Amino acid sequence: MAFQLQSILETTAFQFLDEMLAEFHSTDGFAKTNRWEIIITPPTGNRGNNSTGNIFAPIMSQNTGEGVVQKAALMCEAFSFPGRNLDSQPDSNVYGPEREIVNGYSFGDISSTFRLSSDQKEKQFFDTWQRLAYNPQDFSIGYYYDYIGEIRLYQLDEKDQRRYGIKLLECFPKTVDQMAVTQSAGDLQRVNVTWAYRYWLSLADERNMPRPLEDRLAEIAINTVSKNIFNNIPSVLRKLF
């Protein structure tokens, strides 16, 4: 009886090991931290016809046209899938032990690391993006929709197929860290960027959900104001726009 039990246990252990190895090597196996893809969609700096007069808006458009944005994405060394925190508070309006009830939800900033080429075009791209949030000529703060963009992050399988993805909405590089130089043995230069964003969506099961009503109303208001301003400009001057 003991011999039969030992044989059964050994057989079960080998089956489990085979299943684990098969799962590890299949496309439906484990997600790996080095199999991912990032797509960065920066703002134009000029939402609709609302010109802020920021001299870095055309530079951002130039970066997009020259492929700097795609290069920065390829140089991304580390990023993070975002988390979500359910904000809660005790519900004391019950008898017995208190319940913890949700009263909102929030998100934390995301840290990332980018390798830099010798001309540091990648860092210049993030610097330009930040300067869409303020005008370096008069230090005025930019219009919110002029400096927010989107980021999509995908988990890839062994065949580079996208298996899971998220989208960061209304994001911008909140912090571009300092970069140290040294006289010791040289290493690849990198820059750390911290991203702020409003919220994120899962591209697996939230892709086709309608945008929040607030966002749709804001866009309608923006387009309406822009159209009214443009219509009130004399026809002779409209040709300048």
pLDDT digits (tens, 9 = 90+) for 173-220: 999 999 999 888 778 999 999 999 999 999 988 867 776 655 555 455
Look at residue 58 and give its three-state secondary structure.
Answer: helix
With beta carbons less than 8 A apart as the criterion, state whether 154 and 164 touch: yes
**Is 17 within the bounds of a domain?**
yes
List the structure tokens of 48: 């609709």
Look at residue 29 and give its three-state secondary structure.
Answer: coil
User: Can you give the pLDDT at residue 18?
Assistant: 56
* Average pLDDT score over residue span 21-33: 71
**Is 137 within the bounds of a domain?**
yes
> Is residue 39 located within the same domain as residue 129?
yes
> Is residue 156 located within the same domain as residue 220?
no
d(CA 222, CA 137): 25
> Is residue 132 located within the same domain as residue 19?
no
User: Whole domain around residue 22: which residue ranges?
Assistant: 1-26
Q: How many domains does the chain have?
A: 3
**Is 123 within the bounds of a domain?**
yes
**Is 100 within the bounds of a domain?**
no
The residue written with tokens 């009503």 in the block is 213
**Is 97 within the bounds of a domain?**
no
With beta carbons less than 8 A apart as the criterion, state whether 26 and 116 touch: no
Q: How confident is the model at residue 122 (pLDDT cuts 50, 70, 90)?
A: very high
> Is residue 156 located within the same domain as residue 49?
yes
> Is residue 146 located within the same domain as residue 132?
yes
With beta carbons less than 8 A apart as the criterion, state whether 166 and 153 touch: yes
User: Can you give the pLDDT at residue 203?
Assistant: 94
Whether the model clears a pTM of 0.75, i.e. scores above it, the answer is no
> Is residue 187 located within the same domain as residue 231?
no
**Is 101 within the bounds of a domain?**
no
> Is residue 141 located within the same domain as residue 186?
yes
**Is 169 within the bounds of a domain?**
yes
For residue 225, pLDDT over 50 is answered with no
> Is residue 70 located within the same domain as residue 165?
yes
> Is residue 175 located within the same domain as residue 226?
no
> Is residue 116 located within the same domain as residue 162?
yes
User: Can you give the pLDDT at residue 234?
Assistant: 54
* Average pLDDT score over residue span 130-149: 91
User: Can you give the pLDDT at residue 56?
Assistant: 85
